[in-house]
Amino acid sequence: MRLHATRVWRGAAVGVAALGMLSGSLVATAAAEATPSSGVLINEVYGGGGNSGSTYTNDFIELTNRGTTAVDLSGWSVQYHSKSATGTWQVTPLTGSLAPGGFYLVGEAKGTGGTTPLPATDASGSIALSATDGSVALVQGTTALTCADSSSCLAASVDLVGFGAAALAEGSPATGASNSASVQRTSAADTDDNKTDFAAGAPTPAAANAADGGDGGSTTPPTPGATRIHDIQGTSFVSPLDGQKVTDVPGVVTGVRTSGSSRGFWVQDPEPDSNPATSEGVFVYTGSAPSVTAGDSVLFSGTVKDYYPLGSGDTLSQTSNLSVTEIESPSVYTVSHGNPLPAPIVIGADTVPDTYAPDLNGGNIESTPITPSRSALDYYESVEGMRVEVDDARVVGPSDAYGEQYVTTKPDQNVSYRGGTLLTGENQTPSGRLEVVPADGSNPNVTVGDVFAGATVGPIDYSLYGGYLIAATQLGSVKAGGLAPVVAKKAADDQLSVATYNVENLAPSDAADKYSRLAQGVVTNLASPDIVALEEVQDNDGATDSGTVASDQTLAKLTAAIHAAGGPLYDWREIDPVNDEDGGQPGGNIRVAFLFDPTRVSFVDRGGSSVDRSTTGTAVEKVKGEPQLTLSPGRIDPTSDAWQDSRKPLVGEFSFRGQDVFVIGNHFDSKLGDQNADGRYQYPEQSSAAQRKQQATEVHDFVASVLKADKKAKVIVAGDLNDYQFSPALQTLTGAATGKPILTDLITTLPKNQQYTYVYDGISEVLDHILVTPGVGKPDYQVVHVNSEFANQVSDHDPQEVAITAGAKPWTPAGHANQVCGPDAIAVGYSDALDKATYNGTELGGLSSLARDPKSGGWVSAVDNHASDPARIWFLSDPSHPTITRDPLVLKRADGTPYNGVDSDNEGLAVLPNGDFVVSSETEPSIRIFGRDGIQKASLPVPDRFAVTGTTALGQATSNATLEGLTITPNGKTIVAAMEGALSGDVSSDGDATAHRLLVYTQDRHGAWSLKKQVEYRTEPGMRIPEITAYGNDKFVVEEAAWSAAIGNSVKLYAVKGLTDAHDVSSVANLAAASGRLAVKKSLAADVVQCPTLGATAKEAQANPLLDNFEGIAVTGTHGPNHSTGIALISDDNFSASQTTRILTLDARLP
C-alpha cells in the first residue's frame, strides 16, 4: 500500500457541527495546553439542602451535556465521598438519557429545614452530602469506586468535582459551598481544575447556573479592537502576527468542531476588506468543546499561532506540511446570537486555478506572497477559515474510515472512465480535487462517481492528509452513481493468466470477512487466474514482532478461502524474509508470494533445499539453449543495498503447455518519507524515488539476463511498484531511459482515461504494474477495479491481470476438447470398482503396479506391503472396467515360505514372455523373478550402492525411495528399473536431489539377465519416480509424482527415448556434479492434475479430485486414427480409508 504517516496530529478525527444556541456572554476558554473534558459533565453540586438557612429541602447533583448528541446514562452513576481520602464511595445509579445542552437532576438526601422542594428529578438517591466539603464523581458504571487519590479517581471517572477541603479533586477543589450556596460550573470551557471551572452561587437545580466568573466578573461589555481577521491572516501563508496577542477581534461563528483533539470554532468577519489575498476567516482553538454556536457574533482575544500538523516521526523543523493560522489560549465574548452567517464563496469550475502548486524548484511557498490566481494552494490559503460552497460535487475519492472523502470542483478535469480524477504527470496534482469532511462527524460512505447533490458548505481547513478541505457544516444529499466492481474477462484455455494483488498486510488474525472478500475478488472479479503474485503477505503472527517469519498459515487460510468460494485449490511458493529486514508494518515481515493453479500451470522448482534463499540470490544460466533459474523460487540479489528495508523481488519459473514463463513479483519501496505534495515545498522532494530507481535497475538487469539467454523468453514483471507509469523508476525498469526498452508497461497501452490502479487522496493514479517482454506477444490486459474507488475496501489496491498465449496447443482429438490433460494426452475415464474390494475374504489394496499378463490375457498388480500379510499379485480384467478375476498369487521364497509386508515392499511388476513375474522390492532393494506358482526362481543383480543407507557399508539409497518402477520392453529383451529417489552420492551440496538412476538389464542368448548400464534421468525438483512403462523397445513413459498438504497429489508423464544410446553413468560417483548433461532427454506428455475431473470425488484434499496416489502405469495398446497410445494408471490406497484404489485411463500422443 502507499503509506500515509500515522494519524496522530492534533486535527485527527475532525468533527464539525453547527450547534444550537448557548447562553452566556463572556467566555474565558482553556489554554491550548490543557486536556479538557466535553460531553456529559457535573454542572452543579449542592449539599446544604434541608439545612439551616437553606431554601431547598434536598441535596442535589446536576449534570449537563456539552456534546452534540444525546448520551444514554443507563448504567452510569454519580458517587459521593467525604472530604478525606479514606472511607468509601456512595453510589446513586442513573437511568435515561441527556440531550445536548440539557440538564439532568439527581435528588439526594432530604433534611429537616428548607422551604422549597426540588423540581422534578431524573434520578434520586439518599446520599447526605456535606454542605461545605466533599467529592462527587460521574462514573460510567454502578460499582462503587475504590480510589483514594485524585489521580486514580480521575482515571476511574468521567468527571470529578471536589469542593471545600476535599482531598479528591480535579486540580484544586472548588470554593464557596455552604448551606445557601452550591458550586456551579461556569460557562467557560472545562479546564479540569475545579477551582477554575466552578464558582459559588445560589442553587439553580435543573436550570442555567447563576454563577459565572468569566473575565473576573466584569460586567462592562468589551468593544471591538483595532485588529481584524484579515490583519491576522495577512497576504502571506504565515500570519504577520504569528506569536503575537490580539484583543477583541470581531467576527461571526460559522462552524464549531466539537470532537477530536483540535476542538474549537471558525469565525469570519462579515465586513471583508478588498484584498483577495487576505482571508476573512480563522480557526479559534479552544481545546475543549466551545460554548459558542454558529451565528454568534463574538469578540475574541488570544495568541496568533501558525500551527503545523505533524505526522508520525515528523518534527516542526523538518515538516513539509503547510500551517493553519489559528488563535490559541483564547477568551471569547459573545455579543449576540442568531446572526446571519457570511455568504459562502461559491466555488465553480473556473474559480480555482488549473495549476495545483507552483514550481519553486523545491522552495518554500510560505516565503512567497499569496497569489490566488497562481495556484490552488494559493487560492485556498487566501480563503483559509472562510465559508465556501461547492454545488453538485462529484466524488473522486471514496469515504475512508475517518469519514473523509474527496470531490472535484472541476468536473471536466482529467476524468477517468469511471468518474475519478487522473494524475497525468509528475507534480500534476489535479487542482479541482478537494477533501470534504462532514460537519456532524458522520460517514456518508460514498463511492467514486457519486454526487453530493445541492450545496456542500463549510469553512476551509487544512490537513496533512490531502491538503485543503471543506469542514462541511452542510453536506449535499448523496446521489449514487451506481459504480460497480469490474469483473475480468476470463482467459481462454490456451492463455496463461497472471494477476497481481496487494492484499494489504494480510495476517491470520484478520477477520474471516477479509479472507472471504479477497477470495471472492480472486474467484469472481479476477476469474481465478492461473498465477497470482501477492504483495503484503504477513507472517503467521502478523504485526507481533516475535521473530516468526513463516507465512504458511496466512497462505493456507487464503487458499482455503478461495477454494471455498469456488476457486481452484491454489498451491503457493514464497521465501521467508530475514526477520524485520523487509520493511512494512513492524513485526509483519511482509513478502511477495505466488499462488498458482496446478491444474493449469506447473511451478518449476530449482535449486537445493539447503540453500538459504532469503539471502542467496537466483541467477540465470543457459541450459541446452534455454534460460533456466539457478533457484526457483528465488530472489533478485537480496543483499543489495537497493533492497534495504524493502521487499525483495520473488522470481519463479513456470511451465505452461510445455513452455517456460518467468514471473517476477515485486513490491518496491514505498513513498513514505517523501515531502507532502500538498505542502509548503514545491515541487516536493521525493527522497524515496532514488531507492525505487535502484530497485528498477536490479529488476531490469535481471530481465536482460533472461533475454540474453533467449531473446524470445516470456517474462512477466508484476506487482506494487509504488510509482507512476511516467516516473524515472518505470523508465529505468522498462529500459526506455536508455532508449533500449526491453519491457512494455501494460498500463500505458490502455486508453488514457483508464490508466490508474489506485485512488490516493482523491487522485486516480498508477502504483501497480504488469510489464512484459516482447516474447509474450500480444497480451490481453485489464485492471480490475474492486477496491480503491469504493468505501469499505478489503484492500487499498486494485488487482490487475494479463493473459498471454504460451506453449503449443494441446493435442485435442476431434470430439475430446473437454478431456485435455496437458500437451499430448486426454482423459478417457476412470473406475473405482476395485476400491476396498474383497475376493473370497481377502481384502484388495496397496496396488503399486500394473502390467499386462499375456498368459492370462488380463492384467496383474502387486501389493506393495501390508504389515505381515503375504506378498501378493492380483489378477484383473480390462483396466477400463476392472474386476478381480481370480484369487491372488502369494509370492514365496524357494523354500516355499511367503514373503510379507515386513521383508518385502513390492512396488514394480513386469511379466516375462514366458509368463514369469519380475517384481522389484524397495525394502533391500531387490529384483526377483517368480514362477507362475509364486515360487522365486532368480534375482537380478543390484549394485551395492543402491542398498538403503545404513544397511550396508556402501548403501546410498533412502529408505522407501529405491526401486519403485519396473518395466519390460515389448520384445521381452530389456528390463528397466527406476529409482524413486536420488542416491545420497548424487545429491548436490545445496540439496538438489533431481538426479535419478535407471537400471537397464538385458538378457543374453542363454536367458540370463545382467545389468548392462545405468542411465541418468532428471526429475523436476520435488518430484519422485513411482513408475516407468515401455511403449516401444527403446521408448518409455516415466511417471513423476509429488504430494503436498496444500494441493494433494501431482502426477506428470514424460516420454523418454534412446536408453540404448544413453550415457552409461555406472562409473559416475556424483551425478549432481554432471549438471544434467548426461541425462536422457524427456518431453512432457501429460499433466494429470490438468485433466478434467470426469466427475470424480476425492477423499482428501486434491487440486483435482481425479487425482490419488497413482503409483502404477501400463500401456494398454495403440489405437485410433491418430495411433494414440492407451495408458492406465492405478493408485495405491495404502489400505487407508482416506485414499482410493482407482484406475485412470488416458490416451496419449507419444513421440
CATH number of the CATH domain containing 1134: 2.115.10
| pLDDT band, very low/low/confident/very high, at 840 (cuts 50, 70, 90) | very high
Give per-residue pLDDT as tens, 494-515: 899 999 999 999 999 999 999 9
Cα–Cα distance between 449 and 394 in angstroms, integer? Answer: 6
Q: What is the mean pLDDT of residues 418-424?
A: 98
Q: Does residue 204 share a domain with residue 262?
A: no
Three-class secondary structure assignment of 1014-1065: EEEEECCCCCEEEEEEEEECCEEEEEEEEEECCCEEEEEEEEEECCCCCCCC
> Which among 216, 244, 279 is the end of a domain?
216
pLDDT of residue 215: 34
Task: Tell me, yes or no, whether 327 lies in a domain.
Answer: yes
Q: What is the mean pLDDT of residues 435-443?
A: 88
AA identity, residue 540: N
Location of C-alpha cell 499375456: 854
DSSP-derived 3-state class of residue 1090: helix
Q: Does residue 280 share a domain with residue 164?
A: no
What are the Cα distances from residue 864, in Å, to 398, 812, 909, 978, 1105?
63, 36, 10, 16, 24
Residue pair 858/879 in contact by the 8 Å Cβ criterion: no
452-471 burial string, b = 16+ CB within 10 Å, else e?
beebbbbbbbbbbbbbbbbb
Q: Is 898 left (phi over 0), alpha (psi -120 to 50) or beta?
A: beta
Cα–Cα distance between 1099 and 1084 in angstroms, integer? Answer: 28
Task: Tell me, yes or no, whether 887 lies in a domain.
Answer: yes
Residue pair 296/337 in contact by the 8 Å Cβ criterion: yes
pLDDT of residue 70: 83
Task: Tell me, yes or no, whether 20 lies in a domain.
Answer: no
- Model confidence at 990: pLDDT above 90: no
Q: Does residue 510 share a domain with residue 445?
A: no
Top-confidence residue, 214 or 715: 715
Give per-residue pLDDT as tens, 106-117: 999 999 999 999
Cα–Cα distance between 849 and 862 in angstroms, integer? Answer: 6
Q: Does residue 226 share a domain with residue 192?
A: no
Cα–Cα distance between 959 and 155 in angstroms, integer? Answer: 67
Q: Does residue 188 share a domain with residue 233?
A: no
Triad 1144, 1145, 1150: Cα angle to 5°: 130
Q: Does residue 549 share a domain with residue 649?
A: yes
Task: Tell me, yes or no, whether 18 lies in a domain.
Answer: no
Single pTM value for the model: 0.77
Angle formed by the axes of helices 552-564 and 512-520, to 10°? 60
Give per-residue pLDDT as tens, 683-699: 999 999 999 999 999 99
| pLDDT band, very low/low/confident/very high, at 220 (cuts 50, 70, 90) | low
Q: Which of 133-137, 533-537, 539-543, 607-611 is least confident?
A: 607-611
pLDDT of residue 1056: 96
Cα–Cα distance between 558 and 595 in angstroms, integer? Answer: 10
Give per-residue pLDDT as tens, 366-412: 999 999 999 999 999 999 999 999 999 999 999 999 999 999 999 99
* CATH number of the CATH domain containing 759: 3.60.10.10
| pLDDT band, very low/low/confident/very high, at 1121 (cuts 50, 70, 90) | low
665-703 burial string, b = 16+ CB within 10 Å, else e?
bbbbbbbbeebbbbbbbbbbebebbebbbbbbbbbbebb
Radius of gyration of the chain (CA): 40
Q: How many domains does the chain contain in total?
A: 5
Q: Does residue 251 share a domain with residue 189?
A: no
Q: Does residue 688 share a domain with residue 641?
A: yes
Q: Which of 74-78, 190-194, 730-734, 821-825 is least confident?
A: 190-194
Q: Within 10 Å of residue 257's Cβ, how many Cβ atoms? A: 28
Question: In terms of residue numbers, what domain contains 429?
Answer: 345-479
Task: Tell me, yes or no, whether 49 lies in a domain.
Answer: yes
Q: What is the mean pLDDT of residues 1112-1137?
A: 89
Phi, psi of 521 (to 5 degrees): -65, -40
Q: Does residue 201 share a domain with residue 230?
A: no
Q: How many CA atoms lie within 13 A of 218 on its CB side?
A: 9
* CATH number of the CATH domain containing 82: 2.60.40.1260
Top-confidence residue, 1022 or 790: 790
**Biggest alpha carbon distance in the chain?**
135
AA identity, residue 8: V
Q: Does residue 193 share a domain with residue 67?
A: yes
String of DSSP letters for 52-84: TT-SBSEEEEEEEE-SSS-EE-TT-EEEEE-SS
Q: Does residue 47 share a domain with residue 108?
A: yes
- Model confidence at 4: pLDDT above 60: no
Cα–Cα distance between 124 and 61 in angstroms, integer? Answer: 10
Determine what percent of the chain is predicted with pLDDT higher than 70.
95
Task: Tell me, yes or no, whether 175 lies in a domain.
Answer: yes
Q: What is the mean pLDDT of the chain?
A: 92
pLDDT of residue 1122: 66
Give per-residue pLDDT as tens, 883-917: 999 999 999 999 999 999 889 999 999 999 999 99
pLDDT of residue 813: 86
DSSP class of 1101: -
Location of C-alpha cell 469570519: 268
Task: Tell me, yes or no, whether 16 lies in a domain.
Answer: no
Q: Residues 6 or more apart from 380 whose CB is under 8 A from it?
A: 352, 460, 462, 467, 468
> Which among 309, 336, 363 is the end of a domain?
336
> Which among 805, 835, 862 is the end of a domain?
805
DSSP-derived 3-state class of residue 733: helix
Give per-residue pLDDT as tens, 311-338: 878 888 899 999 999 999 888 888 888 8
pLDDT of residue 848: 96
Give per-residue pLDDT as tens, 573-622: 999 999 999 999 999 999 999 999 998 998 999 988 889 999 999 999 99
Cα–Cα distance between 1110 and 462 in angstroms, integer? Answer: 67
Cα–Cα distance between 332 and 214 in angstroms, integer? Answer: 10
* CATH number of the CATH domain containing 313: 2.40.50.140
Find the length of the chain: 1151
- Model confidence at 860: pLDDT above 80: yes
pLDDT of residue 1076: 66
Cα–Cα distance between 1131 and 468 in angstroms, integer? Answer: 68
| Residue 537 exposed, middle or buried by CB count within 10 Å (0-12, 13-18, 19+) | buried
Cα–Cα nearest to 80, from 118, 149, 126, 141: 126
User: How close are the terminal C-alpha atoms of the chain, in Å?
Assistant: 50
Q: Does residue 616 share a domain with residue 533?
A: yes
- Model confidence at 16: pLDDT above 70: no
